[in-house]
Chain A
Amino acid sequence: MDLSYSAEDVAFRDEVRAFLAENLPSHISDAVRAGGELTKPIMEEWHSLLNGNGWLATTWPTKFGGTGWSPVQRHIFEEECCRAYAPRIVPFGLSMLGPVLQEFGSKEQQDHYLPRILDGTDWWCQGYSEPGAGSDLASLKTRAVRDGDEWVINGQKTWTTLGQHADWIFCLCRTDPDAKQQSGISFILVDMNTPGIEVRPIKLIEGGHEVNEVFFTDVRVPYGNLVGEENKGWTIAKFLLTHERTGIAGVGFSMQSLEEVKALARKTLRGGKPLIQDPLFASRIAQVEIDLEAMKITNLRMLFKAQQQGAPGPETSILKIKGTVIHQELKDLARRALGPAAAPFPGYVTDGNLMFGPPDTAHNAARYFNNRKTSIFGGSNEIQRNILTKTMLEL
């Protein structure tokens, strides 16, 4: 048993920390601190900065232009990025499509698409969920029919995160309606500029625009946009579900949130005293802080196992369940610390003198409501429990 990082890992951490101190522009970290939606230019600027240092594709092997980092190094990188309030890397091209093309794509597809992900030419989004296919993803209905050298796609995708910025979408489509659910699905790449595609924004609970509906009406794309074998798309979907789950606990983000909650509770007065002196509120902070401290170790234990075994096991679902619950609890505490001052709708009060609390902690009601998503997306916490039931308990 040894909980400390190796000398190499410590040196790596120092290198990352120094890089972030020197290269992360303050207008970007300020935007992250403010907690609202990041603009496309900010995300692109950050990607380009990382790519310039060869640090953008943290899950790719070096032969594809990735960092070739170990799970522990990736963890350290993510942790340091959170500490410095760097933006999260947009995952759709880098963490999702990239590894899929490396595992299942043709040489031509790899040579064409991977460099364009790295240099920011293509912004990708994910076409998985449909109005009738959420947790039961395999019941998806978007249809792709082969017509000569083309696919003709008809149907609807939904919850398409940042689809409003995207140049391309990777889609799960039904290509054999007569086969059993999972075996008639294919993984197809679609240019968002193709005629017949319509993107409609979905306004979320807090008023923000992160996700979209994408409609496909007789959309024609080349047959060669198929990744892997026809009707084997479910294999790819499953590969993605088990790939790159080391960051799933969101420990770095929860550590950020804990510091924010404590800062708020020191600043806010109740009964003439700082809120952090109030036993009821202080007990809520301490409780979630203890859970987070345990989650840090649970996360490291699973990283260590992934590093030893080459792949994370099904028990990473524990990270998703507990990690999201902890993060949501912290968002709840931030909202409650501000009381009614958390409630004003974002965007109205822009005068710094009138801000409710420090600018980096404003809009906590919006952030609380927005973060209810984390226990729903990426396989809801109930689906994670089903996975654990089957794999760990064998019930």
Chain B
Amino acid sequence: MRKQALSGILGVLAALLIGAVVMAAQGFNPLATYGALLQYSLFSASGFSATLTRAVPLILTGLSASIAFASGPVNLGQPGQLVMGALGATLVGLFVHLPSALLIPLCILAALIGGAAWAGLAAILKRAFAMDEFIVTLMLNFIADYFTLWAITYPLFDPKALSPMTSPISAAAWLPEIGGMDTSVVFMVAATIICWLLMSRGRAGYEWRMTGQNSLFARIGGCKVDANYVRVMLVTGALAGLAGGLMVMGGTHRFVKGLGANYAWDGIMIAVVANNGISGTFLYGLLFSALQQGAIGMELVTAVPSEFIDVLQAIIVLVVVAGRVSLNMVFDWLAARRKLKESAE
């Protein structure tokens, strides 16, 4: 665990250094840029709460990818599951009329079901026809994207709007704000804790992790590998769907075109750099959220285009992942040197 933290911190620092070099080569001031990043993401009240709010879809999709990758299924369908979950919450929010205490949980349930169903579709295709979920979830992303685009352009279109989006969902479904911060954060933290308990203390989590490491071993051990596969897909789909639903219920309170943006792909990236660990996903999710949130302010202060953050994120991922492997090799090499000296004595 300590090795993971060390390689993570070193990797991030190294990536920031590389980013600074790139910026300097383009004529920008790295220190001022990073300073602006920090200020706009963490060191101001509005920035901090915006960072937390932005972290919600990042961390939830990150959890989805982490659990999936750690358990075996290659679920790359978070982008599609997110928008389908958002669609589910939108439908309930538009057409069901109940008081908040009932409507909010119902919308959340719809989001969970939307995401789970979309992932479940891939799971069914795998179980019934042996269709590799890697490709299926990727294709379903595009299909979900176009489908929801159609939905918000035609049947659910807000006649008063100028671009594709739905009408606002009923106010009873809006997530309240606390001190400028969306309560979606509360749901995100709760989900993180539940996921952590599930994976490290739960019996299902143990089986899932063993299956992800060596499915034959788990099968021989008596684990119901095939049933677990479906469960993992459903749970991870639900997590991504939850992200989508929360984004609709908080924030703009309606399904706007481009809702999911790049969050889900960033979530996948976060899972990769966190090596599929739950706490790692949470921390890296906060980090990337801070970077993205600060990027807007960074652009105002130093004129570095905010898209630079996308590059920086990818560099962090590459450096941390490569560094992890190299660090292991370095540790092993050091230990071997020590043993050599011992045996020579």
The finding on whether chains A and B are genuine partners in a shared complex, rather than unrelated, reads no
**Chain B residues proximal to chain A, CB less than 8 Å:** none
